[in-house]
Structure 1
């Protein structure tokens, strides 16, 4: 561990979030793009509003609880996007739990593994598709991994999906975050990555202007991406709150 890691100025594990110094040393372009994305989403406001002619459904989103107890706010639908309690995976339970013969109460729970379910609630039908697949990050201890050649997404998500539950981000977002680390100097040399950044800036500004010039229009069709991870990095501590989305 280097001095910067010891001082907390650089992350000590790949599971920890990047520090500001990490971002600049790895890729200042990515650092700029991420914060520009935050700014655009703030200026744009909500991507959609619940329909006025239908009952509003409150979706509570959590993920990465890692056997920790978390606070669940009231809602109509609870979604857990993976890395849950080991009770739900018999092969991962400690020996003493297996010997106890205890079992979790799974009443009302629906496990989605590359399949969709349509539920009726408050007179509305909501189609939820769930898939646990994620890009390869380690050895065989990590389940549902895939490589670029074996990716399972193409044509597999039904077009009538209302809520998509995955354990990885969308392709464009993932590509932005996982682009090669060229370093502080080389990242500033003109390259093809600049095209992607400029493209994001263009569409980001356009999305804000479209919303601003439609101030009297209530947007009922749109999408929102949620990162509902509860435990931060490899701290083992619940840091983040559940994310609530009204649809």
Structure 2
């Protein structure tokens, strides 16, 4: 467990997660990169899924994940797409990309069809936790280009246009890509996160939790005690594809 004055982070609890700390706290359960598979998920106030819902991007591969998320009992459930989720990216419905446009339309409507599951695509959202605390969240599916994939950008200008959209009062940020030099090291030793996103985070003084995935082998969490007005910021690479364990973060309201 990692503990700050206003945050507690659990990365390896072997199904013995400490009890919810009480009404002054909000418990976030963080997962990503489930790739059409189902994993055990502990209870909590808010479930955050940071993308790669499907394995290879078809609507049929998306459905098992969405139905599984719908079945979970977390009071608030938020998800974004990732580079594998081709059927959610409108660009992949163009003739040169080759996914049936009807599948794109159906997939995009499907992920917004359940009132208890909130799909964010370059969007801000506010929710009230069971404690009564209202949190401001922003979700972005984007990632730097890597072979063929969805929601990817290839230039610094594209990246800036994407991350300039994040509201300055965002408290919970969910992106598919990691920021550069933060839980982003690949098996080959490369830091594969986004430098523009890392810079954008410096302009988000209220952000207390940043959840992402994408780089499976960099799963884990770290804290920045100088961020978020001195209360500390928690960074979580929540990719579960290689080990199947969610990461839990308790934030003091």
- Cα deviation, residue 148, structure 1: 2.6
Q: String of CA shifts for 1:78-134, please: whole Å, max 9, x gaps.
A: 000001141157948xxxxx9xxxx78734001111111011122111011000000
Task: Quote the Cα distance in structure 2 between the aligned partners of 1:47 and 1:156.
Answer: 29
CA contact (8 A) 1:64 1:84 kept: yes
Aligned to 2:41: 72
Kindly tell me the number of residue pairs found equivalent between the two proteins.
153
Query: More strand per residue: 1 or 2?
Result: 2
Task: Quote the Cα distance in structure 1 between the aligned partners of 2:136 and 2:239.
Answer: 22
Task: Quote the Cα distance in structure 2 between the aligned partners of 1:224 and 1:114.
Answer: 21
Task: Quote the Cα distance in structure 2 between the aligned partners of 1:90 and 1:143.
Answer: 5
Aligned to 1:244: 248
Task: Quote the Cα distance in structure 1 between the aligned partners of 2:117 and 2:32.
Answer: 15
Task: Quote the Cα distance in structure 2 between the aligned partners of 1:114 and 1:48.
Answer: 31
The aligned runs of 1:142-221 (5 Å cut-off) are 142-149=149-156, 150-151=158-159, 152-173=161-182, 177-178=191-192, 221=231
- Closer/same/farther in 2, CA of residues 161 and 54 from structure 1, 3 Å limit: farther
* Structure possessing the higher relative contact order (Cα contacts under 8 Å, 6 or more residues apart): 1
Task: Report the structure number with the largest CA radius of gyration.
Answer: 1
Aligned to 1:46: 3
- Closer/same/farther in 2, CA of residues 153 and 47 from structure 1, 3 Å limit: farther
Aligned to 1:129: 138
TM-score normalised according to structure 1 size: 0.52
Task: Quote the Cα distance in structure 2 between the aligned partners of 1:231 and 1:61.
Answer: 13
CA contact (8 A) 1:60 1:77 kept: yes
Task: Quote the Cα distance in structure 2 between the aligned partners of 1:244 and 1:171.
Answer: 22
CA contact (8 A) 1:48 1:220 kept: no
- Cα deviation, residue 155, structure 1: 2.2
Alignment partner of 1:231 is 2:200: no
Aligned to 2:25: 56
| Secondary structure of 1:177 counterpart | coil
- Cα deviation, residue 158, structure 1: 1.1
Structural RMSD (CA): 3.7
CA contact (8 A) 1:113 1:132 kept: yes
Aligned to 1:110: 118
Query: More helix per residue: 1 or 2?
Result: 1
TM-score normalised according to structure 2 size: 0.51
Q: String of CA shifts for 1:147-202, please: whole Å, max 9, x gaps.
A: 133214442211111110001111343597149xxxxxxxxxxxxxxxxxxxxxxx
